[in-house]
Chains A and B, each alone.
Chain A
Amino acid sequence: MSEYKRPTSEAAFHQNFEQIKPLMNDTEAYYESSRCLFCYDAPCIKACPTGIDIPLFIRQINTGNLKGSAKTIYESNHFGNVCGKVCPTEVLCEGACVYNEQNVKPIEIGRLQSHSTTKAIQDNTKLFTSLPENGKKIAVIGAGPAGIAAACELRLFGYEVDIFEAKAQPSGLALHGTAPYKITNAEVLEEMQYLEAQFGFNTHYNKKINSAAEARELEEKYDAIFLGIGLGGTRSARIEGEDFENCEGATEFIETLKLAPLKAAVGKRVVVIGGGNTAMDAASESSRMGASEVTLLYRRAKEEMPAYEFELDLAKGVGVRAVFNVQPLAVLGDGKVEGIRSIRTESKDGKLSNIAGTEFDIACDMVIKATGQEKQRNFLDTLNVAYDNSGRIEVDEHFRCGKTKYFAAGDAVNGGAEVVNACAEAKKAAQGIHQFLS
């Protein structure tokens, strides 16, 4: 049974989606920063894809140099605030903290990072001033974490940057995807505004780049083009009935939930298909939206689940029931979801097979498919940019796409990872562009 009532007001929504990593007050930040050992060659730094000098920024918090600490963070990671809140720190920096070896609670690096950067954003502290201008122009397609991080870095080198974004708002999946209990939309947008004001790149919204003609125009007008286009919509689950009303893709479901939380339709009994982090999020979110029964179906064993253990725990903590070794066969109903038919599976020598005669039905009024996101193959064909078998853009070590003037990073290249990976790669790609043009 779910403990949540369906929220009918903004306030109730925020209550159901209470922040799991709330902001620290000064006292907590002081105590927590005092605990950091200032390790040499610190494992936490190595575990951060953007390599933030964590012991340094923590010590700067401890000595009251919040501005310096924010600078330390932003020098390595242009999404310092978002990352502090949405990074899976358990498997990154905090998971590597030496305190784990002592069975002592690791330093809350993510929350300290948010503490420092939130202050900088609120005070609009200028950390990067008097940027150079080198007269060259770069186009960035996609205003997600990758696109914005690349834009910031390119501005530091002095390029003029125009970002073209298909949607009406920036930040890509950081805004449209990340769970509301990790970060609020306002927080995501405030960091974007902060970066825009400081770095002075231009963002053009509702400007989807679609056609070959548009692409040629960009190629002519700009010295290089950065692709931060991420992934596409939810890919088909290839089961009968997946086009029924109330059978939705997870990314689409979550996007609605994020943009218009009170309008999002959530069933009473929800079945989520998938074993990735998006599946965990969609299940947690359904529960917090007031679904009374949420069941997660994953076709393999628990150990094989790609989602992080803590994400599953988070879902279980809000009443989600997880069922493993179950392969959905068909969505049941008459144009509208009434249930789902599945069959039990087993893995033998890494091969998954259905166990004959074990079909069973679960009654439900909503199915959410968290079966992965499509790649943007068509668009890449239009651009003449090569991709591998699974649709990931192929880049060299400088994140350049073959011998073209295109560079790419983020989900579109790594196939779907975290915000912090997109930022780390985009920074390197921007450096690659600079090397290419100078």
Chain B
Amino acid sequence: MANLQANLAGIKSPNPFWLASAPPTNSGYQIMKAFDAGWGGAVWKTLGVPIINTSSRYGALHYRDSRMMGFNNIELITDRPLSHNLKEIEEVKKYFPDHAVIASLMVQSREEWHQIVKDVQNAGADGIELNFGCPHGMCERGMGSAVGQEPEVLKTITEWVMEVANVPVIVKLTPNISDITEPAIGAVQGGADAISLINTIQSVIGVDLDTFVPYPQVDGKSTNGGYCGPAVKPIALNMLKNCAQHPDVTIPISGIGGIESWRDAAEHLLLGASNVQVCTAVMHYGFGIVREMISGLENYMDEKGFETLDDMVGKSLQNVLKWENLNLKYKVVADIDTDKCIGCQLCYIACEDGAHQAIGLSGTEENRVPHIIEENCVGCNLCSLVCPVEECITMVRKDDGKQDVSWTDLAAKDMAPTEFEDEKAGGRHHWVPAPADALKK
């Protein structure tokens, strides 16, 4: 049986599943309940000078019948007094010495940072997370993402913290920046022990079409919020990969963003996260979902022969290259399994109107199964993605696998197109119907 023990920069936890700093970690009550349910660690709701929150605070993006595939909030850091939180940290550690309790912090001056770091250490926190990520409200006051977007400031504050820290320090990054590796490197230079990412993404979740007020609404007005939930996972994974692959980001990473099932967690781990943090999924379903995550990850690790998390962390990184190094000779075309096809013709219209006119119809009422026009198919995957039937459209390799030529190789040999009318253009001899043919159908 796989061993799920996790270790992030010396912070140990029975499994890699931590609660992210957010409402589920507002109080000792919730964290104890979560540990009891199986969570391995928790990052306390960000501590600092307590704030006042608005009512209401959240909005959601529903996709058809799926609720909350995206989630948005305009909530700030904790609104509870520091002393109450400290007392509860102490109590939680008493009951759960082997679980990870991390204090998330956000204050302004060097003195405040020193004070609060010492306070949470005294309370028994196993680690500290610096919240440089909040993209609403706090940043208007020069904290949160306002720090995360300025690598120099981030580095300086990290240094302040390191002056007094005697437990591992994690810097939590904001995704609201063009190059995530810059603040990541700032964290390394400031002496941090780990980074975590992502915090929420600046967003407006939607607009009430009757009142013209975006969500969430506070007395007839709104403000931009932070976006998270299943929808943000791809953005998180990309930023995670960028940091994990960067030679100067030499510290471990805690992966956050869109994790709801064991599969999401496994993806984060494979792309270089040493553990994961979860917020929205718990806000949706409660602490109980961790059972699904633990059972699923264990089963996956057993199936793949991974004995410990180290066997899988970062395993996918070697498979992510720059675009320019991908093999341009690799060629796949779509193939329809006519036995499985249910005749919806979504593939046809997707390719016809949205891609390369490489799918044909039989032209008879009886036969609704489309066919691939192989010479037109560029192997884009679109049809296989829209097809509602599992494994019905597959992409079949057509090149002989003997050639590996990338854009870099072409450019080096002066074989890459450089002019508007270049003979070497990829679509040069590709069939394209005449514009007026469109009206004949």
Which residues of A are in contact with B by a Cβ distance under 8 Å? Answer: 26-27, 30, 34-35, 38, 40, 53, 55-56, 59-60, 62-65, 67-68, 71-72
Contacts and interface: CB of A to CB of B under 8 A. Distances in A.
B292 A65 contact: yes
B263 A56 contact: no
B262 interface: yes
Nearest to A71: B295
B62 interface: no
B291 interface: yes
Interface stretch (B282-290, B326-334, B406-414): B282-290
Contacts of A68: 292, 295-296, 298-299
Select the residue from A40, A59, A67 with max chain B CB neighbours within 10 A: A59
Contacts of B389: 27
Given A26-B390, A56-B291, A38 B296 contact: no
B390 A65 contact: no
Contacts of B285: 38, 40
A200 to B, nearest CB: 20
Given A27-B389, A27-B390, A60 B263 contact: no
Interface string B363-393: 0000000000000000000000000011000
Given A59-B292, A62-B261, 13 more contacts: A30-B390, A34-B66, A38-B288, A38-B289, A40-B285, A56-B291, A56-B292, A59-B261, A63-B263, A63-B292, A63-B296, A68-B292, A71-B295
A26 B389 CA distance: 10
Contacts, number: 45
Nearest to A59: B292
B228 to A, nearest CB: 19
A60 B390 contact: no
B288 A60 contact: no
B293 to A, nearest CB: 9
26 contacts: A27-B389, A27-B390, A30-B390, A34-B66, A35-B65, A38-B289, A40-B286, A55-B288, A56-B291, A59-B261, A60-B296, A62-B261, A63-B261, A63-B262, A63-B292, A64-B263, A64-B296, A65-B262, A65-B295, A65-B299, A65-B300, A68-B295, A68-B296, A68-B298, A71-B295, A72-B295
Interface string B256-300: 000001110000000000000000000001101101100110111
- Name A's interface SS: helix
A105 to B, nearest CB: 13
Of B285, B289, B292, B298, most A-chain CB atoms within 10 Å: B292
Closest 3 CB pairs of A and B: A68-B295, A65-B296, A63-B261
A63 B288 CA distance: 15
Nearest to B294: A68
Interface string B51-88: 00000000000000110000000000000000000000
A30 B263 CA distance: 15
A264 B52 CA distance: 78
B51 to A, nearest CB: 29
A72 B298 CA distance: 14
A60 B297 CA distance: 11
B263 A40 contact: no
Contacts of A34: 66
Contacts of B263: 63-64
Contacts of A38: 285, 288-289
Interface centre among A30, A34, A65, A72 (most CB of B within 10 A): A65
Contacts of A62: 261
A72 B295 CA distance: 10
Contacts of B291: 53, 56
B286 A60 contact: no
A300 to B, nearest CB: 44
Interface string B291-335: 110011011100000000000000000000000000000000000
B299 to A, nearest CB: 5
Nearest to A40: B286
Nearest to A64: B263
Interface in B388-424: 389-390
Nearest to B286: A40
B295 A60 contact: yes
B288 A40 contact: yes
Nearest to B292: A59
Contacts of A59: 261, 289, 292
A319 B300 CA distance: 50
A40 B282 CA distance: 12
Contacts of A55: 288
B30 to A, nearest CB: 14
Nearest to B342: A27
Nearest to A34: B66
Nearest to B293: A63
Contacts of A27: 389-390
A341 to B, nearest CB: 57
B33 to A, nearest CB: 12
Nearest to A67: B299
B295 to A, nearest CB: 4
Contacts of B288: 38, 40, 55-56
A408 B390 CA distance: 48
Contacts of A72: 295
Interface string B324-357: 0000000000000000000000000000000000
A55 B389 CA distance: 25
Contacts of B261: 59, 62-63
Contacts of A65: 262, 292, 295-296, 299-300
Contacts of A30: 390
Nearest to A53: B291
A380 to B, nearest CB: 42
Nearest to A35: B65
A145 B390 CA distance: 37
Contacts of B286: 40
Contacts of A56: 288, 291-292
A26 to B, nearest CB: 6
A197 B429 CA distance: 63
A40 B291 CA distance: 13
B224 to A, nearest CB: 30
Interface in B225-268: 261-263
A132 B409 CA distance: 62
A27 B387 CA distance: 13
B1 to A, nearest CB: 9
A59 B262 CA distance: 11
A68 B262 CA distance: 12
Contacts of B289: 38, 59
Interface in B37-58: none
B211 to A, nearest CB: 27
A388 to B, nearest CB: 40
A64 to B, nearest CB: 7
Contacts of A35: 65
A68 B291 CA distance: 10
Contact of B292 (A26, A40, A60): A60
A67 B295 CA distance: 9
A71 B390 CA distance: 25
A301 B419 CA distance: 90
A62 B292 CA distance: 10
B314 to A, nearest CB: 22
A53 B286 CA distance: 15
Contacts of B65: 35
A65 B300 CA distance: 8
B337 to A, nearest CB: 13
